[in-house]
Amino acid sequence: MLQPVHPRAARRRRRDVNSRIITQASIAFVSSDKDSKAWASYYQSMGEHWLALPYDARDQKEKLSKAFGVNGIPSLVLLDSEANGRNTITTSGRSFVMENCVEDFPRSWAPKPYADLTKTAECKGSSINDEKALCVFVHNMEDKNVEGLKALATKQEKSDTLFFYATADEGIAEQVVRLCDIKPPKGEATLVLLDLDDDGAYYLANTSDVSEGALAKFLKEPGPRQQLKSP
């Protein structure tokens, strides 16, 4: 499901997507427009080469939005082939298009067991607000090494714990640093275990070691509970 942020920008991105992806996937336009005129205008701006759910099919549109958890637009959902059961590959396709991530499509769009905290608060289909989340802040490190986190996240892919990294002090990552009232030292990493569902609890590691072993130990022995400051 896709609606353009701006027709001109959408056309540029569509050209990039078309050249690498359109030959491997069919794209269906599903609109949340308030009237048929707006629907027709958007569809025309997309080139009118895609499949489209008619504007009058409001009930079907609502069912699709509910099935894929669409809470805002634009959204892009990628489904696997019919031969593979039409399983959902990702409901976050928009971010891949915005970043022009077309290499190794569609494999590169499959969900990973870790996520970039500067861009999202969700990982493995769950939110940082609902599950424990290990967050590794490396924006003050020269090499910004997060390989240990990725390795641990891959091994614990089926666990409820979420895994995030931040290589910049922005977005959701900046909010977490501020609410935890921490000041990542220059040249070192900061490790935080969030448990927001426990009335805003968090745990701060007394080490800057970002190796897989150190992160696993921190998960098992996070230390004393601390409380998020009020926004």
> What's residue 11's pLDDT?
52
Rama region for 82: left / alpha / beta (φ>0; ψ in -120 to 50; rest): alpha
Q: Which of 91, 109, 127 is the last residue of a domain?
A: 109
Pair of tokens at residue 44: 């025309």
Counting the structural domains of the chain, the total is 2
pLDDT digits 0-9 by tens, 89-98: 888 788 777 7
Domain assignment present for 214: yes
**Domain check: are 53 and 119 in the same one?**
no
Q: Using CA atoms, how far apart are residues 102 and 221, in angstroms rounded to an integer?
A: 40
**Domain check: are 87 and 134 in the same one?**
no
Mean pLDDT value of segment 20-27: 68
Percent of the chain at pLDDT > 70 equals 88
**Domain check: are 11 and 95 in the same one?**
yes
Q: Using CA atoms, how far apart are residues 79 and 82, in angstroms rounded to an integer?
A: 9
The H or E element containing residue 127 is strand 126-127
CB 135 within 8 A of CB 176: yes
- The beta strands (E) that lie in 138-197 are given as 162-166, 190-195
Q: pTM (2 decimals)?
A: 0.67
In the predicted structure, residue 5 carries a pLDDT above the cut 50:
no
In the predicted structure, residue 116 carries a pLDDT above the cut 80:
yes
Residue range of the domain that includes 174: 115-227
More reliable by pLDDT, 106 or 166: 166
Pair of tokens at residue 132: 């424990």
Pair of tokens at residue 167: 């290589």
Q: 7-20 and 36-45 are packed helices; what angle lies between their axes, rounded to 10 degrees?
A: 50
Domain assignment present for 1: no
Question: Among residues 72, 76, 65, which one has the least CA distance to residue 13?
Answer: 76
Question: Among residues 124, 114, 174, which one has the least CA distance to residue 147?
Answer: 114
CATH of the domain at 145: 3.40.30.10
B/e letters for 102-123, b = 16+ CB within 10 Å, e = fewer, are: beeebeebebbbbbbbbbebbb
